[in-house]
Amino acid sequence: MNKDIFVTLLGQRHFKAVRSILDAMNEVDIASLLSELDDRELALAFRLIPKDKAAEVFSNTETSMQTYLVEIFSEKELKELLDDLYMDDTVDLLEELPANLVNRILDTVSPEDRSLINQILNYPDDSAGSIMTTEYVDIRETMTVAQSMAHIKKTGIHKETIYTCYVTDKRKLIGIVSAKDLMTSDDDMLIKDLMETEIISVNTHTDQEEVARIFTKYDFLALPVLDKDGRMVGIVTFDDAMDVMVDEATEDITKMAAMSPSEKTYFETSVFDHAKHRILWLLVLMFSASITGAIITRYENAFAAIPLLVSFIPMLMDTGGNCGSQSSTLIIRGIALGEIQFRDIFRVVFKEFRISLIVSTVLALANGIRILIMYQNMTLALVIGLSLIGTVILSKMIGCVLPLFAKKTGLDPAVMAAPLITTLVDTCSILIYFNIASALFEL
């Protein structure tokens, strides 16, 4: 939809045309159209959205717009919106709003919803409880297929998903029936003969990353969430799991480049916040790199005698850093996807060792030949070749072992990525290099 046409129609008060445009558009697209409007147009446009779409449009807009809308809504408008919002979206909203608006919302919802909301707000960040919704289809094992379908017809419209129905008995989850099973089975079949009883579920405190992994593994549409007493309290739906997957990958990638992760997009994050997220690690790494510098000064005599030695420092440092971060990257990703565990450490080390033998030999030969041709100096070629072999093997060992130890000790493996590995490997490669050089050149 072209924004200008829309704004013109809105400005000329062609409400019927605006309404029929909004009627035809997808909720996500309406939300992104609204984000381009100014406040007055926004208020007007939002009120023209068909009632059955308003809540979903609202939950797809950005926080600043949600805040504005909650501020200007009348009591009645706010109540209508909250009635149509799914519980997990309401909670997401409350987590972002300023305190006065939070109170306004809590005053508007029913007392039962208020207590539910407070309960969900209390689950730890990044837990299954914090991303679940409490609206799911709840049936009994004594119902027939036809009764269940009638139940869904009556209550389903307000549920986030009706495609998985949960069979409960005194709030305990005893079975699961898919809408596909209901739709393709005979009307008088009993739920207890249809339901799946081997149930995969998570706890309210299960980490959301684990939840996302279960979704990817089993291709579920929804996953039941149980409280510590084993009672069913909600479901996580696949769309929230997809968001978690994308967010977790972004978080890992950000950490792997030595930054604190941000929950906002690149442009939403302010210059000051960007700087804040980047400075800490830069300072740590900068001072660590100074150690490498201090070590170099110990070999002042070596490069005073043969100044050419200095010129190979960048190549050795970079190659070591690259080799180390190749290994650490693969291991970090493998851990994140659940493909590599700490108990695999010996398999990993042995594999990386064999890889680094191949890689280092090729690199040493290529560089040795280059040096022979350029400088006709066999000893120098040998020094660089041997230093490369030592650096590559050591850096791949460091690169594969550190993320596994981080995982074991409860640290985030993503921190053990390129920048930190590079800094550590630098020191090692300088030591290897100058020791080999001192020995072979008899300095």
Q: How far is residue 348 CA from its own chain's centroid? A: 25
131 touches a copy of itself (CB under 8 A): no
Contacts (CB under 8 A) with a copy of itself, residues 235-264: 238-239, 242-243, 245-246, 249-250, 252-254, 256-259
- Distance CA(317)–CA(356), nearest Å, equals 16
Q: Does 290 bind a copy of itself (CB under 8 A)?
A: yes
From residue 310, give the alpha-carbon distance in Å to each of 77, 303, 306: 72, 6, 8
Distance between CA atoms of 234 and 357, rounded to whole angstroms? 52
Q: How far is the CB of 128 from a copy of itself (least distance, A)?
A: 18
- The single residue listed with the structure tokens 């550190």 is 402
Q: Least CB distance from residue 251 to a copy of itself, whole Å? A: 10
Contact positions with a copy of itself (CB under 8 A) in 7-26 = 24-26
The answer to whether 125 contacts a copy of itself (rule: CB under 8 A) is no
292 binds a copy of itself (CB under 8 A): yes
Distances 437 to 94, 156, 367, 424, 429 between C-alpha atoms, Å: 63, 76, 16, 20, 12
CA distance linking residue 237 with residue 240, whole number of Å = 6
Rounded to an integer, what distance in angstroms lies between the CA atom of residue 214 and that of residue 352? 29
334 contacts a copy of itself (rule: CB under 8 A): yes
Scanning 5-13, 69-77, 106-114, 150-158 for contacts with a copy of itself by CB under 8 A, the matching segment is 150-158
278 lies in the site for a copy of itself, by CB under 8 A: yes
Residue 327: both structure tokens together: 């290994």
Q: Which two tokens stand for residue 270?
A: 């302010």
Minimum Å distance from CB 34 to a copy of itself? Answer: 15
Closest C-alpha among 391, 93, 374, 3 to residue 106? 93
Which x/- pattern over 23-42 shows residues binding a copy of itself (rule: CB under 8 A)? -xxx-x--------------
Q: Which two tokens stand for residue 318?
A: 């970079």
H/E segment holding residue 94 = helix 87-96
Pick out residues in 368-427 that bind a copy of itself (CB under 8 A): 370, 418-419, 422-423, 426
Which CB, 109 or 143, lies closer to a copy of itself?
Answer: 143
How near is the Cβ of 104 to a copy of itself at its closest, in Å? Answer: 28
Both tokens assigned to 208: 């959301």
Give the interface segment with a copy of itself, choosing from 62-70, 88-96, 122-130, 272-280 (CB under 8 A). 272-280
Out of 12, 347, 369, 439, the only residue in the binding site for a copy of itself (CB under 8 A) is: 347
For residue 190, what are the β-bridge partners? 144
Question: Out of 153, 171, 172, 408, which residue is the one contacting a copy of itself (CB under 8 A)?
Answer: 153
* Shortest Å distance, C-beta 73 to a copy of itself: 25
Among 283, 305, 369, 411, which residue interacts with a copy of itself (rule: CB under 8 A)? 283
> Minimum CB separation from a copy of itself for residue 210, in Å?
15
What sign does the CA torsion over 78, 82, 84, 90 have? positive
Report which of 178, 111, 192 is spatially closest to residue 149, judged by C-alpha positions. 178
# chain residues binding a copy of itself, by CB under 8 A: 108
Check binding of 325 to a copy of itself (CB under 8 A).
Answer: yes
CA–chain centroid gap for 241, Å, is 10
Candidates 162, 383, 393, 398; binder of a copy of itself (CB under 8 A) is 162
By the rule CB under 8 A, 53 interacts with a copy of itself: no
Question: Could you tell me how many residues make up the chain?
Answer: 443
342 lines the binding site for a copy of itself (CB under 8 A): no
CA-based radius of gyration for the chain? 30
Indicate the residue among 39 and 243 with the shorter CB distance to a copy of itself.
243
- Distance CA(212)–CA(399), nearest Å, equals 27
Among 180, 263, 378, 411, binds a copy of itself (CB under 8 A): 180
We find the least distance from the C-beta atom of residue 313 to a copy of itself, in angstroms, to be 6
CA angle at 304 for the pair 299 and 308, rounded to the nearest 5°: 95
Stretch that binds a copy of itself, among 65-73, 78-86, 224-232, 348-356 (CB under 8 A): 348-356
Cβ at position 99, least distance to a copy of itself in Å: 29
Token couple for 413: 């493996």
Q: What is the closest distance, in whole angstroms, from the C-beta atom of residue 417 to a copy of itself in the complex?
A: 8
Phi then psi for residue 230, to 5 deg, are 80, 10
Q: Could you say which residues in the range 200-239 bind a copy of itself, by CB under 8 A?
A: 200, 215-219, 221, 238-239
Q: How far apart are the first and last CA of the chain?
A: 74
